[in-house]
Amino acid sequence: MIKIKKVLVTDYISRTKIPDSDYAINPYIGCPHKCMYCYAEFMKQFTNHNEHWGDFLDVKVCPKPFNIKKLIGKSVIIGTVTDAYNRYEQKYQITRKVLESLIGVNTEISILTKSDLVIRDIDLFKKMINIEITFSINTLDDIFRKDIEPFTSKVIERIEALKILNKNGIKTSVFLSPMFPGITDFKLILKSLKGYCQSFWFENLKLYPQCASRVLKYIHAKFPHLKNLYYDIYIAKNTDYWDYKEKEIVSFCQEKKIDYMIYFYLYKTKKNTLTKNTEKPIQLSFY
C-alpha cells in the first residue's frame, strides 16, 4: 500500500549534475515503480519517511507560479529521481500543470519516463518550443520487465506510446538503462525501435549499495548461468565486459548510422567517442 500525502513547495526547479542538463524538475518525492535497481533510493535519507522506497509518494503542490525565468536558454530534465508519469499522475496531474507553465518558454525540455501515460499530454508537447520524450527500455521481454520493474508500463505499451509520439511529430529517444550484463540485447532493441525515435542512449547497470544485494540475489536465482559474469564485473571489479560492450555499441551504431549517447561511467558522457573508465567500483558481497 502506497502512503500518499501532499507537500507544499515553493519551486519545482533544482540544479542537477545530470550530464547535458542544467536543471531538473521532479513533481513528486518518491517513486511507486519499485524498480529493483533504482539508483534514486538514496533520496530516502532526505525525505524523513519510515516507509521503504517505493511505498510512499509525496505530491508536490506549489501554490504560487514558480520561477521559470532561470530556465530561459537552459536545459531541464523532468523525472530524475521520480517518474513524472507514475500511475498517480493520472489523478494529481502535477506534471501536466508544470508543463502548462513551460509552454512558450525558450528552454530545452527532456522528459524521462517508463510510462505510456505520457501520451496524454501530446497537446501540450505540440506547443513546446523544444521538447524530447525519452523512454527507458532495457528489454523486450515483459516477463523480465515485470521482475525488475513491477509497477511500470508494459514494454509493448511503451513501444506503442513511442510510435504515437513519433507519429505526432514529437521528438523521441530510447534510453537503454540499465543494461543488464548478458540479458539486455541492445541490437534487438535498436533494430525493433529504430524507426520510431531519433536517438538511443545507453547506460550500464550500476550496483549502488542500496540495491546491490537484491539484484545479485535475483541474478543468482533466475539466471544462475550468469553468476560468474556478475561476479567478475561487480565483485572482482573487472571492466573488460563494459569496455567491450561500449566498443560493440559504437561499431553497431556507426555502421547503422544511428545517433547515440553512452553514459557508462558517472558524469562522463560519450558521443561518437571512447574514453577511459575513471569510476571507482563499489564494494559489495554476492550474497
Q: What is the pLDDT of residues 37-69, one digit of tens each?
A: 999 988 888 888 999 999 999 999 999 888 889
DSSP string for residues in 67-99: --GGGTTSEEEE-SSS-TT-TTHHHH-HHHHHH
pLDDT interval class at 206 (50, 70, 90) = very high
Q: What is the pLDDT of residue 18?
A: 85
* Cell 506503442 belongs to residue: 160
Is the predicted pLDDT of residue 281 greater than 80, yes or no? no
Whether pLDDT at 241 is above 60: yes
89 touches 117 (CB < 8 A): yes
- pLDDT at residue 276 greater than cutoff 50: no
Higher per-residue confidence, 92 vs 286: 92
- Mean pLDDT (whole number) for 157-172: 98
Identify whether the C-beta of residue 277 lies closer than 8 Å to the C-beta of residue 265. Answer: yes
The residue ranges of every structural domain in the chain are: 12-25+68-270
Distance of CA 63 to the CA centre of its chain: 28
Instruction: State yes or no: pLDDT of 269 exceeds 60.
Output: no
The gap between the terminal CA atoms of the chain, to the nearest Å, is 28
- The answer to whether the beta carbons of residues 204 and 179 sit under 8 Å apart is yes
118/127 Cα distance (integer angstroms): 15
Could you tell me what percent of the chain has a pLDDT over 90? 84
- Prior bond to 178 cis, omega within 30? yes
Residue 75 confidence (pLDDT) above 50: yes
**Separation of alpha carbons 137 and 158, rounded Å:** 8
Give the sheet arrangement for strand 108-113, strand by strand: 13-15, 23-25, 75-78, 108-113, 131-136, 171-179, 199-204, 260-265, 268-270
Kindly report which listed range (5-9, 43-47, 258-262) carries the lowest average pLDDT score.
43-47
pLDDT for the residue numbered 284:
45
Q: Which of the four pLDDT bands, split at 50, 70 and 90, describes residue 78?
A: very high
Higher-pLDDT residue of 268, 277: 268
pLDDT (average), residues 106-113: 97
**CA 262 from chain center: how many Å?**
13
User: What cell numbers appear for 153 in the block?
Assistant: 508500463
- Which three cell numbers mark 85? 508519469
Task: Identify the pLDDT of residue 282.
Answer: 40
- In the block, which residue shows the cell 561500449? 246
Q: What is the pTM of this model?
A: 0.90
b/e code 53-66 from CB counts within 10 Å (16+ = b): bbebbbbbebeeee
pLDDT in the model for residue 285 = 45
d(CA 282, CA 168): 43
Average pLDDT over residues 114-137: 98
* CA 257 to chain CA mean position, Å: 24
Task: Classify 5 as helix, strand or coil.
Answer: strand
The total of other beta-carbon atoms located within 10 Å of residue 193's CB is 22
Position 225 pLDDT exceeds 90: yes
CB-CB contact of 214 with 175 (8 Å)? no
Q: Can you give the pLDDT at residue 45?
A: 84
* β partners of residue 261: 201
Answer CATH for 12-25+68-270 from 3.10.530, 2.60.40, 3.40.1000, 3.80.30: 3.80.30
The whole-number average pLDDT for the span 248-273 is 79
Q: What is the mean pLDDT of the chain?
A: 92
Strands of the sheet containing 56-61, edge to edge, are 3-8, 56-61, 28-29
